[in-house]
Amino acid sequence: MKSVLAIAGLDPSGGAGILADVKTIRALGFFPSSVVTVITFQNTCRVNGIREIEAECIERQISAVLDDLKLAGIKVGLVCSKRSAKAIAKLIKDLKIPKVVDPVIKATVGFEFSGEDVYSILAEVCDVITPNADEASKLSGILVRDVKSAERAARSIADMFGCSVVITGGSLGGMDIVFDSGRVFVIEGEIVRSEIHGTGCVYSSAITCYLAKGLSLREACRRAREFVYKAILNSAEVGRCLKVVNV
Q: Which residues of 18-34 are buried (b: 16+ CB within 10 A; e: fewer)?
A: bbbbbbbbebbebbbbb
pLDDT the model gives residue 113 = 86
Question: Which of the 8 DSSP states describes residue 192?
Answer: -
DSSP secondary structure letters along 184-217: EEEEE-----S-EETHHHHHHHHHHHHHHTT--H
pLDDT by position in tens, the chain (length 247)? 999 999 999 999 999 999 999 999 999 999 999 999 999 999 999 999 999 999 999 999 999 999 999 999 999 999 999 999 999 999 999 999 999 999 998 776 567 787 789 999 999 999 999 999 999 999 999 999 999 999 999 999 999 999 999 998 767 878 999 999 999 999 987 777 678 889 999 999 999 999 999 999 999 999 999 999 999 999 999 999 999 999 9
Q: Count up the domains in the chain and report the number.
A: 1
pLDDT the model gives residue 115 = 77
Residue ranges making up the domain that contains 56? 3-244
Write down the H helix ranges in 28-115.
55-66, 82-92
**CA atoms within 13 Å, Cβ hemisphere of 142:** 18
CA distances (Å), origin 22, targets 8, 41, 67, 132: 10, 19, 20, 21
The enclosing domain of 70 has a CATH number of: 3.40.1190.20
- Provide the whole-model pTM: 0.95
Question: Nearest 10 degrees: CA dihedral of 64, 105, 117, 18?
Answer: 10
Collapsing DSSP to helix, strand or coil, 39 comes out as: strand
Write down the H helix ranges in 81-126.
82-92, 116-123
Class of residue 205 by CB neighbours under 10 A (exposed 0-12, middle 13-18, buried 19+): buried
Cα–Cα distance measured from residue 174 to residue 166, given in angstroms and rounded to the nearest whole number: 13
